[in-house]
């Protein structure tokens, strides 16, 4: 795999990673988990629901973190062989999963943007997440087709190369819209923004310092569901769970971790 885009631009699209026939079951599971996240029943303590509000003040469930602990289907996606190949090519044979997230952006929901940020800002303390520029990879799997209109990811090309971290509160990310004013406030130029287009099963991956975000879903009829995995070289990370040890995958749901 040629990784020059990841190295030069800070992000790279890898098309057709998950076969199309596997997508319907993943969508069904994402929808089932959304119902769980929206409900009032107590959740497994390892899960975290990402919430914000619609413009009229109603509760809006935006995402669910770490569902690989409770869903064999999501854990299977986290450890999908095609994703394992990408991760091991970049991070080596010993890899930890730091975090997984499912993101939901319903069609036409104006309060569904994610502010520009760098994942490195959330991987604290630095003593537990070492050498992030080299040891970290974030990867998103498109479950629906996505582009700028339905809230697909926007990246600031080359932003990973500057030795600068823009600190932002994690919850505040759910209140942004990845618009030009956010970038200007960060002292960055909107000229370098690239909105990626993905088909279901495509992957986009990026670096811990790559500035990225996503706009609201402005389409009228295209939901946007996405699954992300934050991974690190195991030797540089004291958090998360093992995904691969000496190249052998370690499932989370089988061992009940």
Ligand X SMILES: O=C(O)CCC(=O)C(=O)O
Binding site for ligand X (CB under 6 A): 101, 103, 114, 119, 138, 140, 153, 212, 214, 226, 228
How far apart are CB 246 and ligand X at their closest, in Å?
28
Calculate Rg over the CA atoms of the chain.
17
Give 159 or 214: the residue with its C-beta nearer to ligand X: 214
Instruction: Select from 141, 125, 216, 218 the least CA-distant residue to 176.
Output: 216
Give 14 or 153: the residue with its C-beta nearer to ligand X: 153
How far apart are CB 10 and ligand X at their closest, in Å?
13
How far apart are CB 176 and ligand X at their closest, in Å?
10
How far apart are CB 87 and ligand X at their closest, in Å?
15
E strand or H helix that includes residue 62: strand 59-65
Q: Which pair of tokens denotes residue 106?
A: 């319903």
How far apart are CB 194 and ligand X at their closest, in Å?
14
Kindly list the strands in the beta sheet with 193-195, ordered across the sheet, starting from the edge strand earlier in the chain.
114-117, 212-214, 153-156, 193-195
User: What is the bridge-based pairing of β-strands 11-14 and 203-206?
Assistant: antiparallel
Give 212 or 222: the residue with its C-beta nearer to ligand X: 212
158 touches 10 (CB < 8 A): yes
Dihedral sign, Cα of residue 167, residue 83, residue 33, residue 69: negative
Distance, in Å, from the CA atom of 143 to the CA atom of 38, rounded to the nearest integer, reads 20
Give 92 or 121: the residue with its C-beta nearer to ligand X: 121
């Amino acid at each position: 795999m040629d990784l020059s885009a990841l190295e030069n631009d800070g992000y790279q699209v890898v098309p057709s990673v998950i076969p199309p026939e596997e997508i319907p079951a993943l969508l069904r599971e994402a929808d089932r988990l959304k119902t769980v996240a929206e409900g009032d029943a107590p959740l497994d303590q390892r899960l975290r629901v990402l919430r914000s509000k619609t413009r009229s003040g109603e509760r809006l469930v935006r995402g669910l973190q770490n569902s690989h602990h409770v869903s064999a289907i999501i854990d299977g996606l986290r450890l999908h062989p095609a994703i394992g190949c990408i991760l091991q090519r970049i991070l080596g044979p010993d890899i930890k999963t730091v975090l997984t997230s499912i993101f939901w952006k319903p069609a036409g929901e104006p309060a569904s943007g994610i502010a520009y940020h760098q994942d490195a800002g959330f991987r604290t303390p630095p003593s537990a997440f070492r050498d992030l520029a080299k040891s970290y990879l974030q990867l998103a799997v498109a479950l629906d087709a996505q582009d700028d209109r339905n809230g697909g990811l926007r990246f600031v090309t080359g932003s990973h190369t500057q030795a600068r971290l823009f600190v932002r509160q994690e919850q505040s990310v759910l209140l942004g819209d990845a618009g030009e004013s956010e970038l200007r406030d960060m002292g960055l130029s909107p000229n370098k923004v690239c909105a990626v287009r993905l088909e279901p099963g495509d992957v986009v991956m990026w670096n811990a310092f790559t500035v990225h975000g996503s706009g609201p879903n402005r389409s009228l009829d295209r939901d946007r569901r996405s699954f992300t995995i934050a991974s690190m070289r195991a030797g540089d990370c004291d958090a998360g769970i093992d995904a691969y040890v000496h190249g052998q995958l370690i499932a989370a749901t089988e061992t009940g971790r």
